[in-house]
């Protein structure tokens, strides 16, 4: 009986570990992303961000989707970052005032735009603000 209880407890801990790892913003391992976020502080993850006319959206290879509004840089590490390629074209068919983790985003080959390279499955957006503007 003790063995069964211990086994169930270990199984519960193992099942909870991936959920905890996804919630905490990881330190950027990519040099390009680390340089981009230098001097910035991570805020609370959010599932939606407001869209801005002059915002830039781009991909950092095999790392993240970046949404840069100027004051705030939102980083989305996506569910499958290994498929991210900065040469791909980002296609968003929805026209909403917010970009959410449920937003359908496709990747297209720039040389054959009719060919889809797949979809991006978003996770929470992590906002990064300059340390002096973090409050």
**pLDDT confidence tier of residue 10, bands split at 50, 70 and 90:** very low
Minimal CA–CA distance to 73: which of 112, 21, 131?
A: 131
* pTM tops 0.85: no
CA-based diameter of the chain, in Å? 63
Question: Tell me: the pLDDT tens digits for 35-48?
Answer: 999 999 999 999 99
DSSP 71-133: SEEEEE--S-GGG--TTSEEEE----SEEETT--EEEE-SSSTTSEEEEE----BEEEEEGGG
Question: Is the model's pLDDT at 124 over the cut of 60?
Answer: yes
Residue 60 contacts residue 32 (beta carbons within 8 Å) = yes
């Amino acid at each position: 009986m003790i063995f069964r209880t211990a086994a169930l407890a270990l199984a519960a801990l193992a099942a909870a570990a991936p959920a905890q790892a996804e919630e905490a913003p990881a330190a950027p391992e990519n040099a390009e992303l680390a340089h981009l976020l230098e001097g910035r502080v991570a805020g609370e993850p959010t599932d939606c961000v407001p869209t801005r006319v002059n915002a830039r959206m781009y991909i950092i290879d095999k790392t993240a989707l970046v949404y840069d509004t100027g004051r705030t840089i939102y980083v989305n590490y996506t569910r499958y970052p290994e498929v991210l390629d900065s040469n791909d074209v980002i296609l968003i068919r929805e026209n909403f005032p917010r970009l959410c983790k449920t937003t359908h985003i496709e990747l297209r080959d720039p040389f054959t735009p009719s060919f889809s390279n797949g979809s991006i499955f978003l996770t929470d957006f992590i906002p990064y603000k300059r340390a002096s503007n973090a409050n």
